[in-house]
Structure 1
Amino acid sequence: MSLFAVSTLLLLLSGSGLALQIQCYQCEEMTHDCSTPEFIVNCTVNVQDTCQKEVLVKEDGTHYRKSCASSGACLIASSGYQQFCTGKLSSVCITCCNAPLCNGPRQKKRPPSAASPPTVPRLPVFCLYVLLVLLC
C-alpha cells in the first residue's frame, strides 16, 4: 500500500509542476548572444517559471539581456514594448518562453534525413501511473 501512496504523491508533484525547475541563460547588456554554458542559471523554483530575452538595437550594435522571470512579469514587460520592437535603431524586443534554455539562439530547423534515428513517442505521466498501479 505504501507504493500506492508514493506513486500518488509523485503523480501529484509532477502534474502540478511543484518539482520542476527551469534553466535559462542570464546576462546583462552583452554585445554578443550570451548563449553559452557559462551563462546558464537555475531559476528560482515556484517563482521564476519563464525565460526572458531582450534584444536592444543601439548605435554600437545589438545588445542582449537574458534572465529568469515570472511568467506574469515577463508578459507584462513584453506587451509594453511591442510597439518598440521594430528591428531598427532604438528597437527593444522582449520575448518570453517556458522551456529550458529557450531564451538562447533560435534553433535552425533541419530537414528530416534518412540517417536520423526514429523517435519514440513518450507516454504521459498518467499512463505511467496507471501502469505502475496495475503492476502492484
Structure 2
Amino acid sequence: MKVKGDTNLCAEITGVSVALQIQCYQCEDVRQDDCSSPEFIVNCTVNVQDMCQKEVLVMEDGIHYRKSCASSGACLIASSGYQQFCTGKLNSVCITCCNTALCNGPRHKRRPACSSPNTHCHLGACCHTIWDKLSQ
C-alpha cells in the first residue's frame, strides 16, 4: 500500500482511492485542557475535515481551549492569520493544525538533553517557549 502525502490522507490500493477518516478531540471553551478524554473524541467528515485544530486562548480567568475537526485550507488560513496574536500574554490566541489521529490532544512533556544548566540555546534546542507552556 502506498500512502500519498500527509495532508491528502488518501491511500492508493491497486488503483482504487480509499478515503481515510481522521479522529480529533472536539470541545468548546474548556479550561485546563480537560477535553482530552475519550468522550470528546469525534470522527471527522471524510474528504472534508482532514485536520485537527486546537485553539489556546489566554484570558483573565485562565487558559481556555477549543478543539475541533477542520479542513486543511480553513485551519491553515486561521493559524497563519492568528500567528501575530500568539504571544502567550493576556488575550492572546494561538491556533495550531495537525493531521494525525488525536493530534490536538495534550502535548507530552519532553525535555531536551542539555549538557549543563547554563547551556546556551542553539536553534531552540534547550529553550522552552511560552507556547510549550500553554500547550501542556
Supply the AA of the counterpart residue of 1:70: S
Q: Secondary structure at the match of 1:83?
A: helix
Find the aligned partners of 2:50 and 2:99 in 1 and give their Cα distance: 6
Distance across 1 between alignment mates of 2:37 and 2:25: 8
- Higher relative contact order, chain-length normalized (CA < 8 Å, sep 6+): 1
Matches for 1:1-136 after TM superposition, within 5 Å = 10-13=13-16, 16=17, 18-33=18-33, 34-109=35-110
Alignment: residue pair count: 100
SS of 1:106 mapped into structure 2: coil
Partners of 1:20 and 1:12 in 2: CA distance: 15
Which structure has the larger Rg over C-alpha atoms?
Answer: 1
Query: By percentage of residues, which structure has more strand?
Result: 2
Bigger share in helix: 1
What is the aligned-residue identity percentage? Answer: 81
The normalised TM-score by structure 1 is: 0.68
Which residue matches 2:121?
none
Unaligned segments of structure 2, at least 5 residues: 1-11, 113-136
Structure 1: gaps of 5 or more residues:
1-8, 112-136
Give the TM-score normalised by the residue count of structure 2: 0.68
Give the superposition deviation at 1:10. 3.3
Q: Where in structure 1 do 4 or more consecutive aligned residues deviate above 2 Å?
A: 9-13, 107-111
Q: CA RMSD in A?
A: 1.8
